[in-house]
Amino acid sequence: MAQWAAFVNRFVQQLGSESLLAIARKPPCSNSNSAEFMTIRVGLVGTGYAAGARAKAFRADPRSQLLSVAGHHFESAATFAESHDLKVVEGWQQLVADDSLDLVVVATVSSLHGEVVEAALTAGKHVVVEYPLSLDLAQAERLVKLAAERNLLLHVEHIELLGGLHRAVQAHLPKVGTLSYVSYRTLNPQHPAPMKWTYRSDLFGFPFCGALSRVHRLTNLFGPVEAVTCCTQTTDSQADPTYFESILSSARLQFQSGVVAELTYGKGENLWVYRREIEVQGSSGALVFNRDEGKLTTAEGTAPIAVTPRRGLFVKDTEGVLDYLSEGKPLYVSAAESVYALSVGDALRRASANGKTVTLG
């Protein structure tokens, strides 16, 4: 982990944003004339599952006041606003320009993330955004610099790091010795495939960018990547070719440490068996996690590993954001780490497009 932290520091320096990793000692939303913290006023862009979880978390915390919402469609925003007792705003452009807000939370379609985040930072707002920060790597790198230059929080949510599965893998890695091989598969059959934005490539992005948590989990555990290959199969919807009915991406990642990882992501009608599996092989043993059940196998035998269920992760993430803004407590992940994972995801996109190995710098 110390080597990974050093690599992230170097990556930040390459972005020219060394101040990004400096945690503010003066809480960003504190009142300089009082020992009391100001209420953090929040606006929300998005009306889906993540937005709903955020709304509940902010409304439950006395340090924040959720005021308004804008959505991809006004009708859905109006319904969301009514159910959460919020002001509905005609569009996200008006919401980010609202001078009464301290913090903008971006939980809308992935293709809009970069544009909304840039506008919010330019307007002087702290920003929380669900991954990915942007589907455009160059834009994501610019946004990291912009936040640092303006001394604003830019937090990219990666709740996969807070879950019981990730923590169980992390805690047991030392028990398997020198690492050599990793397999990570998430397959989600859908019959029929839903006509949702997550099944549109223009809105969701390339699988390992839109579903960036898969890549980020591996870079967090195993460090920087040396080279990647990738193959992607997409089947368009017969009802509306704007959507796809199935997608499958299979990738190979060569880490600088020597670890080789096979990463597979798929969803839709061409899949029939659900998978959420992680396997790690090392010189002294192996870890296997299937959904929320884990096992450690060594020369002494096989032992079960307890995995905490995935509950309350958006609440934990939101509490961390408010801890930072009100007290200056460090967050569990930096925007730079997310952007590095996005650089790997973008390399996988290029490898999938040209059928060649892509080397990372």
Residue 270: count of CB within 10 angstroms of its CB: 17
pLDDT of residue 36: 54
- The CATH number of the domain covering residues in 161-309+345-359: 3.30.360.10
Average pLDDT, the chain: 92
Q: Which of 274, 278, 254 is nearest to 266 (CA)?
A: 274
Q: Which of 108, 103, 110, 111 is nearest to 155 (CA)?
A: 103
61-87 b/e (C-beta count within 10 Å ≥ 16 → b) = bebbebbbbbbbeeebbeebbeebebe
Question: Domain 2-159+313-333, what fold?
Answer: Rossmann fold (3.40.50)
Per DSSP bridges, beta strands 225-236 and 358-359 are antiparallel
CB 262 within 8 A of CB 276: no
pLDDT of residue 361: 77
At 11-48, the pLDDT tens digits run 666 665 544 444 333 445 554 344 355 799 999 999 99
CB 334 within 8 A of CB 21: yes
DSSP annotation of 271 reads -
Task: Provide CATH 3.40.50.720 ranges for the chain.
Answer: 2-159+313-333
**Among residues of the chain, what percentage have pLDDT more than 70?**
90
Q: Which of 175, 181, 173, 129 is nearest to 153 (CA)?
A: 129
Residue with tokens 């170097």: 10
CB 1 within 8 A of CB 298: no
pLDDT of residue 348: 98
At 94-118, the pLDDT tens digits run 999 999 999 999 999 999 999 999 9
pLDDT of residue 8: 66
- Angstrom CA distances, 346 to 249, 251, 294, stand at 13, 12, 31
The answer for residues whose C-beta is within 8 angstroms of residue 33's C-beta and 6 or more apart is none
pLDDT of residue 12: 62
Q: Give, for 297, the enclosing helix (H) or strand (E).
A: strand 293-298
Task: Provide CATH 3.30.360.10 ranges for the chain.
Answer: 161-309+345-359
pLDDT of residue 29: 59
pLDDT of residue 5: 62
The full DSSP string for 65-96 is EEEEEE-SSHHHHHHHHHHHT-EE-S-HHHHH
At 317-329, the pLDDT tens digits run 999 999 999 999 9
pTM across the whole model = 0.92
Tell me, rounded to whole angstroms, the distance of Cα 101 from its chain centroid: 24
- The least confident of 72-76, 86-90, 241-245, 336-340 is 72-76
Per DSSP bridges, beta strands 103-106 and 40-45 are parallel
pLDDT of residue 38: 78
CB 205 within 8 A of CB 239: no
CB 67 within 8 A of CB 61: no
Cα 230 to Cα 232: distance, rounded to the nearest angstrom: 7
pLDDT of residue 47: 96
Cα 121 to Cα 140: distance, rounded to the nearest angstrom: 13
